[in-house]
């Protein structure tokens, strides 16, 4: 039997070494990231998706996210700032207009109006639009910043109602535009603030608990299309649980004055609201509502045992 030498022939060894070297070099290369995850190289890359998403109804839907999962308005502001640093003075009107648009959608009306005014001073197609937008935001700020009387709770509520009426006028005036959506957001915030104020002052008001229940009922009825409706339903349920616990504190469950039906009325009202939220798939409040349902059932079981 013949044995071959362990030494490689030069003709065989060189190609083999080259193959090993090249193969190792190829495996060490870092793969290029997908184009959508690369930093924006020009202004068009920054604004093309932003312009489309900026028209979304922010009353009914949350502010959209970009491909990285970040609020598109905040992400665009960062990218525009970066673009400005790298390209000082280039397309200043477009950069500032889009900054204003992003700030506007974030409800930073003061800063947005300031950028719109800068664009209005620059000759170009965006100047006229920016000027009109600045005027609209001035109206928004006048309503938002109108002081409310603080001496009398009823005067305070009247002041809130006046703001709601003013936002309603803007909703009608700018129907079908993003300014309608922003006005609805502002109106909703006032409606929620009104309920919170009544709830916080319910002991100072005649039939304060009933007024709070009425306020929550009106809130969830009026804003059924809002992105915050499930939050409102949970808050409404929380108030019923608060009433149930207050009732149990006032009337000893182990005593004769405790009325299980009165307690159950509060608890079951909360349970109904939590269940309504828990049945909706794909919302962040679902898990919270499910947890509250179990908590209510536990509370009801505890009261039942104590009252036996």
Q: How confident is the model over 32-87, as pLDDT tens digits? A: 444 443 344 589 889 988 888 888 999 999 999 988 889 999 999 999 999 999 99
pLDDT tier at 151 (50, 70, 90 boundaries)?
Answer: confident
| CA dist., res. 97 & res. 120, Å (int) | 9
* CB 262 within 8 Å of CB 243: no
* CB 120 within 8 Å of CB 134: yes
Residue pointed to by tokens 């005593």: 255
* CB 180 within 8 Å of CB 171: yes
Q: How confident is the model over 163-175, as pLDDT tens digits? A: 999 999 999 999 9
pTM for the structure as a whole: 0.83
């Amino acid at each position: 039997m013949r044995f071959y030498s362990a030494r490689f022939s030069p003709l065989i060894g060189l190609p083999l070494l080259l193959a090993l070297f090249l193969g190792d070099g190829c495996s060490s290369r870092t793969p290029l990231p997908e184009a959508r995850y690369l930093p924006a190289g020009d202004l068009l890359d920054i604004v093309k998706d932003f312009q489309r998403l900026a028209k979304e109804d922010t009353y009914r839907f949350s502010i959209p996210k970009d491909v990285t999962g970040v609020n598109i308005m905040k992400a665009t502001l960062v990218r525009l700032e970066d673009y400005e640093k790298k390209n000082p003075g280039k397309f200043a009107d477009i950069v500032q207009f889009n900054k204003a648009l992003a700030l506007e959608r974030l409800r930073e009306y003061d800063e947005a109006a300031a950028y719109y005014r800068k664009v209005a001073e620059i000759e170009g197609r965006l100047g006229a639009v920016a000027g009109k937008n600045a005027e609209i935001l001035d109206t928004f700020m006048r309503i938002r910043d109108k002081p409310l009387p603080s001496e009398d709770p009823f005067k305070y509520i009247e002041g809130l109602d006046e703001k709601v009426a003013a936002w309603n006028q803007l909703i009608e005036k700018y129907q079908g535009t993003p300014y309608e959506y922003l006005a609805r957001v502002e109106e909703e915030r006032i409606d929620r603030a009104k309920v919170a104020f009544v709830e916080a002052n319910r002991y100072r008001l005649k039939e304060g608990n009933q007024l709070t229940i009425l306020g929550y009922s009106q809130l969830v009825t009026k804003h059924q299309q809002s992105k915050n409706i499930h939050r409102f339903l949970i808050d409404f349920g929380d108030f019923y649980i608060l009433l149930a616990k207050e009732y149990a504190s006032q009337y000893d469950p182990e005593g004769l004055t405790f009325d299980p039906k009165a307690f159950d009325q509060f608890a079951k009202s909360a349970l109904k609201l939590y269940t309504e939220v828990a049945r909706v798939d794909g919302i962040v409040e679902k898990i919270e509502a499910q947890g509250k349902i179990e908590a209510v059932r536990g509370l009801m079981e505890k009261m039942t045992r104590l009252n036996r």
